[in-house]
Amino acid sequence: MGNFERIIDDSELWLDYRNGDNEALGLLADRYYGALRRYGMKFLVDESIVEDCIQDLFLDLWQNRERISQTPSVKFYLFKAIRHSILGHMRYQQRFANEESQDWDSAMPENFNAESLLIEQETLNSLVAQMHAQMEALPKREREALFLRYYENMSVADISGVMGVNRQSVSNFLQKGITRIRAKWFVTTVFNLCFF
The answer to whether residue 150 forms part of the interface with other proteins (CB under 8 A) is yes
Q: Is 87 in the site for other proteins (CB under 8 A)?
A: no
Minimum distance, C-beta of residue 50 to other proteins, in the bound complex (Å)? 9
Which residues have C-beta within 8 Å of that of residue 162, sequence separation ≥ 6?
A: 76, 79, 80, 83, 148, 154
Does residue 50 contact residue 37 with C-beta atoms inside 8 Å? yes
Residue 190 engages other proteins in binding (rule: CB under 8 A): yes
Of residues 102-121, those binding other proteins (CB under 8 A): 105-110, 112, 116-119
User: CA angle at residue 125 from 124 to 129, to 5 degrees?
Assistant: 115
Q: Please report, in angstroms and rounded to a whole number, the separation of the first and last CA atoms in the chain.
A: 28
Smallest distance from other proteins to CB 69, Å: 20
Least distance CB 9 / other proteins (angstroms): 19
Binding to other proteins by residue 70, rule CB under 8 A? no
**How is residue 116 annotated by DSSP?**
G
Q: How far is CA 14 from CA 25, 66, 87, 186, in A?
A: 7, 12, 25, 48
CA distance 190 to 151: 26
Which is closer to other proteins, CB of 92 or CB of 100?
A: 92
Residues binding other proteins (CB under 8 A): 1-2, 22, 25-26, 29-30, 33-34, 37-38, 41-42, 46-49, 51, 54-56, 58-59, 62-63, 89, 92-96, 105-110, 112, 116-119, 123-124, 127-128, 130-132, 135, 143, 146-147, 150-151, 153, 178, 181-182, 185, 190-192, 194, 196
